[in-house]
């Protein structure tokens, strides 16, 4: 699961070829209908070393655009134990689907959506390799699947020239504590803000 940063200090543009069909109607669509050419951009070519795996990823994954105030997540194939009684996810048995909140898709800054969608595509590949994306009993910031997916987009952000401050805000997701945020920054080699560094 990923989230957008509400405010960022530095916001370079995503690659000029990154496109979004912002007027896409609510419902389920092929991922390349929502993001034409996503498979041809640098992260789309490096997300997996096997070209056949990449082709299947972009051919078989869909987007579920929902009327909800949320960011995006990979739809589980069944309701995970950690969600019961707390969260009612879209469930897509046997179908690789990324659920995206309408407001995020239509109004968020392109760079944020760009990083988010590749983060979620990392999760699709992880699940295909047998990973449990909703592993119970493991902190969000210590979950190997989250660390790997965030590392992928942090590296891409660095390639684009984003600042440390941008990355700190991007990784400040609303469901983690300040301590967990610092741990995530440290794990991903993103420098802590100066004030936090002095407190350590």
pLDDT at 2: 57
How large a percentage of the chain has pLDDT more than 70? 92
Q: What are phi and psi of 119, to 5 degrees?
A: -55, -45
| In a domain? residue 18 | no
| In a domain? residue 148 | yes
Q: What are phi and psi of 158, to 5 degrees?
A: -60, -40
| In a domain? residue 7 | no
Whether the per-residue pLDDT at 7 is higher than 80: the answer is no
- The pair of structure tokens assigned to 21 is 């069909």
pTM of this prediction? Answer: 0.90
| In a domain? residue 108 | yes
pLDDT at 1: 62
Whether the per-residue pLDDT at 8 is higher than 50: the answer is no
pLDDT, the chain, mean: 90
105, 90 in Cβ contact below 8 A? Answer: no
| In a domain? residue 161 | yes
- The helix/strand/coil state of 64 is strand
DSSP 8-state secondary structure symbol assigned to residue 47: S
| In a domain? residue 131 | yes
- The lowest-confidence range among 73-77, 91-95, 133-137, 187-191 is 133-137
Whether the per-residue pLDDT at 200 is higher than 70: the answer is no
pLDDT at 176: 86
Average pLDDT, stretch 96-106? 96
Average pLDDT, stretch 71-85? 86
pLDDT at 13: 87
127, 133 in Cβ contact below 8 A? Answer: yes
Report residue 56's pLDDT band, with 50, 70 and 90 as the boundaries.
Answer: very high
Whether the per-residue pLDDT at 183 is higher than 70: the answer is yes
| In a domain? residue 116 | yes
How many domains does the chain contain in total? 1
- Alpha carbon 108 to chain centroid, angstroms: 13
Instruction: Show the domain range for 67.
Output: 27-199
| In a domain? residue 122 | yes
Report residue 4's pLDDT band, with 50, 70 and 90 as the boundaries.
Answer: very low
Q: How far apart are CA 3 and CA 150, in angstroms?
A: 11
pLDDT at 196: 54
């Amino acid at each position: 699961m990923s989230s957008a940063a509400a405010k960022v200090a530095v916001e370079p543009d995503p690659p000029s070829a990154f496109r979004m069909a912002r007027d896409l109607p609510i419902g389920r669509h092929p991922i390349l209908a929502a993001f034409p050419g996503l498979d041809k951009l640098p992260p789309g070519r490096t997300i997996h070393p096997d070209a056949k795996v990449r082709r299947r990823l972009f051919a078989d994954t869909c987007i579920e655009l929902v009327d909800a105030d949320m960011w995006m997540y990979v739809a589980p194939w069944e309701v995970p134990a950690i969600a019961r009684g707390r969260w009612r996810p879209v469930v897509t048995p046997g179908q690789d689907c990324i659920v995206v909140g309408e407001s995020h898709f239509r109004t968020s800054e392109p760079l944020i959506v760009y990083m988010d969608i590749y983060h979620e595509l990392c999760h699709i590949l992880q699940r295909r390799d047998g990973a449990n994306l909703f592993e119970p009993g493991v902190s969000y910031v210590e979950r190997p699947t989250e660390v790997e997916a965030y590392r992928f987009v942090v590296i891409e952000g660095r390639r684009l020239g984003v600042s440390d401050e941008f990355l700190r805000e991007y990784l400040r997701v609303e469901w983690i504590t300040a301590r967990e945020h610092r741990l995530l920054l440290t794990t991903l080699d993103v420098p802590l803000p100066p004030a936090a560094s002095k407190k350590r």
